[in-house]
Structure 1
Amino acid sequence: MRQKETLIQRSDNLSELVYQRIKNDIFDFKLMPSERFTESEIAEVYKVSRTPVRQALYRLQQEGYVDVGFRRGWQVRPLNFRYYEELYDVRIILESTAIETLCASENELSVELEILKEKWCIQPEHYLKDLKKLAQQDEEFHCSLVRAAGNQEMARIHRELSEKIRIIRRLDFSKDYRVEATYFEHQNILQLILEKNKKEAQSQLILHIKKSRDEVKKITLQMLDNHQIL
C-alpha cells in the first residue's frame, strides 16, 4: 500500500511540474496564442509520458489557458483583449479601494508598506535590471498594496486576477525604459499614500495601470502580427 501511495505522489508531483512548465511557456509566448499541439508533442519535448501531460492540460483548460477539440488536439486559447480590459477594470477598482482604506487608516505604517518602501524607494544605481524579476516584483507591489488594506478576501480575488493577466502583463517589461518609469511611478504612489493623499494616490495609480495596460496591448499585437496569428 505504501509503495502505491508513493507512486501516486510521484505522478502528482510530475503532473504539477508539467503544469507549471506549460503555463510558463504560455506566459513566455513559447507556446503562442492559437497555437495547436498534441499531448504526444508536449510529452516528447518535456521528456515525460502522456499521462502527466494530459492531467496538466485538463487543469489548464479549467483555468482558461487552453482548449481541446474532438480530433483537433489542443490549442492555446486565443487572446481576448476585451476580457483582459475587463480584468484591468476590476483590478483598478480593487487597488483604488485598497488605497482608500490605507489613506483612511490612523494606524502606524504596516509591515507591507514598510517592505514596499524599502524595496522601491531606492536610488537609481540600485534599481533591479533583470526585467523578468522586475515584472514579478511589479506584480508583488500591487498585490502587497491590496494585502496591506487588510481585507483577505479582496486580496485573494486580486491575487487570482493578477495571475490571469500575467500572460500579457509581463510584456510591459520587455523594454529597458520601463525600469526607471516603474520605479518612479511606484515611488510616487507610495509617497502619496504615506501622505494620506487619497485622491491623488488613486489618480496616479489608475494612470499607472492604464499606461501599463495600453503598453502591453501594443506589444502583444506587434508580437502576434510578427507570428501572423491575428
Structure 2
Amino acid sequence: MKPEPVASLANEDAVPGKRRGSKDNLANGIYAAIKADIMEFRLLPGDRFTESEVAERLNVSRTPVREALYRLQNEHFVEVQFRNGWQVRPFDFAYFEDLYDVRVILELAAARRLCEHVELETSQELIALKSLWLVPVGERLTDGKIVSGFDELFHSTLVAATGNREMARIHRDVTEKIRPIRRLDFTKPYRVDTTYHEHGAILRAILQRRADEAQRMLKAHIDESKSEVRKITLHMLHAARKGASDGL
C-alpha cells in the first residue's frame, strides 16, 4: 500500500509565515511543519509524498513547499525522487553511527575543556544542569518524552558551557539529525532512571574536575545509545508513529 504521509502534516494554522504574508517565513513554516512530522514519527523513513500533496494539505502554493523540501534535502532529512516526488531519507545505520562518532569526539573534548579551563562554580549552564539532574529520586521527571528533551539539553549544554561557539554549532547540527533515534530510545521506561543516574555521575565528575573519569562515563553513556541504533526495526518505527497518533 502506498503510504500517505501528508495526512498527518501540520495544518495551515501551524504555518506562521502564511499569516504574515512573507515568502521566506512561509517557506520556513512549511519546513518546520515537515521536519516536525519526521521528528515525531508521523513521517517514517522511506515514506513518499509529492509537492502537490504537501501544498494541498497546507493550503499553500508549490513554490514555498519546494523551497522547504530542498532545504530539508540539504540537511539529509529527505531525498528527491525525480518524476516520483519526494521520500523521507531511508534509515541508514552507517550514517547514524557516523554521527554518533562525531558526537563522542565533541562531547569528550567538551568534558576535558570544562574540567581544565572553565570556572565551574560560576557557570550558569552547569548550575542549571545541577538543578535538573542532581535532585532526589522523588523529584525526578517520569515522562519519557519530556526526559528525552532534557537529555538532549544536558549534552548540548555541556558543549555550550565550554564557550566554543563553533563546537556548539556543530554539535547542534549532529544532535538534530539523531533526535528521532534518541526519542525512540526513551520509549523504554527503564531509560529514564538510567539517564538520571548516568547524567548525575557525569556531572559530578565534571564538577570535581575528574576529567578522565568524566570522559570515560560520558563515552560509555553515548555508546549505549549508539548500540541501540542497530536494534531499530521497522516495527518499532511504526509503533512510534501509532503512539504519536494516539497522543494527538
Pick the aligned partner of 1:58 from 61, 70, 76: 70
Partner of 2:226: 213
Distance 1:194 1:67, change over 3 A: same
Partners of 2:46 and 2:108 in 1: CA distance: 34
Pick the aligned partner of 1:116 from 118, 129, 140: 129
Partner of 2:202: 189
**Structure 1 counterpart SS, 2:157:** helix
Q: How many residues align?
A: 222
**Contact 1:116–1:141 at 8 Å: present in 2 too?**
yes
Partner of 2:164: 151
Pick the aligned partner of 1:142 from 133, 144, 155: 155
Pick the aligned partner of 2:214 from 201, 209, 214: 201
Residues 1:168 and 2:177 are matched in the alignment: no
**Contact 2:93–2:229 at 8 Å: present in 1 too?**
no
User: How many Å apart are 1:144 and its aligned residue?
Assistant: 0.7
Q: What amino acid sits opposite 1:65 in the alignment?
A: F
User: How many Å apart are 1:96 and its aligned residue?
Assistant: 0.6
**Contact 1:171–1:220 at 8 Å: present in 2 too?**
no
**Structure 1 counterpart SS, 2:45:** coil
Give ranges in structure 2 of 5+ residues lacking alignment: 1-17, 241-248
Cα RMSD over matched residues? 2.3
1:172-203 deviations in Å (ceiling 9; x for gaps): 11122111111111001001111211111111
User: How many Å apart are 1:45 and its aligned residue?
Assistant: 3.1
**Contact 2:148–2:183 at 8 Å: present in 1 too?**
yes
Q: What amino acid sits opposite 1:49 in the alignment?
A: S
Q: TM-score, normalised by structure 1?
A: 0.88
Q: TM-score, normalised by structure 2?
A: 0.82
1:147-166 deviations in Å (ceiling 9; x for gaps): 11221211111111111211
Question: What are the residue-to-residue correspondences of 1:62-101 with 2, within 5 Å?
Answer: 62-101=74-113
Distance 1:191 1:108, change over 3 A: closer
1:2-26 deviations in Å (ceiling 9; x for gaps): xxxx998533222212111111111
**Structure 1 counterpart SS, 2:232:** helix
Give ranges in structure 1 of 5+ residues lacking alignment: 1-5
